[in-house]
Amino acid sequence: MAKKTRQGQKQCPKCSTWIKGTRTKACPKCGHPFRAKRQKAPVADVVTAESEKTAKAGATVTLEHVKAVALTVKTLGGFARINELLVLIKEVGGVKKFKDLLEAMSVPETDVIPF
């Protein structure tokens, strides 16, 4: 059943009384408080939140990062191989799981056995 609406009035959900004026904060009959509408965040808060995100240490790219990536690309044999590696990491379930698999597959170094 569709909810009835009246122009310039609202209905109390508790006692079903129609109240004149849409800005009423509570029902005059039973005192039920009406829910306030959500207000949009001010633009200044959004701008500061965005600037805080970019100010994090992990968000900045340094010259050392660029050099490390270039060396890795060169070592692995080009961008195609890097993309294959990234796809594999994603399929495995992330960097942490990939690292755990690498550690499990690596041959542990044993102590030198004297003869």
**Alpha-carbon distance 78 to 68, whole Å?**
14
Please write the tens of the pLDDT for every residue from 103-113: 888 766 665 66
Closest CA to 92 of 115, 84, 66, 45: 84
Predicted TM-score (pTM) of the model is 0.39
Cα 12 from Cα 26, distance rounded (Å): 9
20-58: burial string, b at 16+ Cβ within 10 Å, e else: eeeeeeebeeeeeeeeeeeeeeeeeeeeeeeeeeeeeee
Q: Would you give the DSSP letter of residue 87?
A: H
Q: Among the ranges 23-27, 57-61, 91-95, 107-111, which has the highest mean pLDDT value? A: 91-95
* 15 has pLDDT over 70: yes
Tell me the per-residue pLDDT of 45-67, one tens digit each, with 9 for 90 and over.
555 555 555 555 567 888 998 89
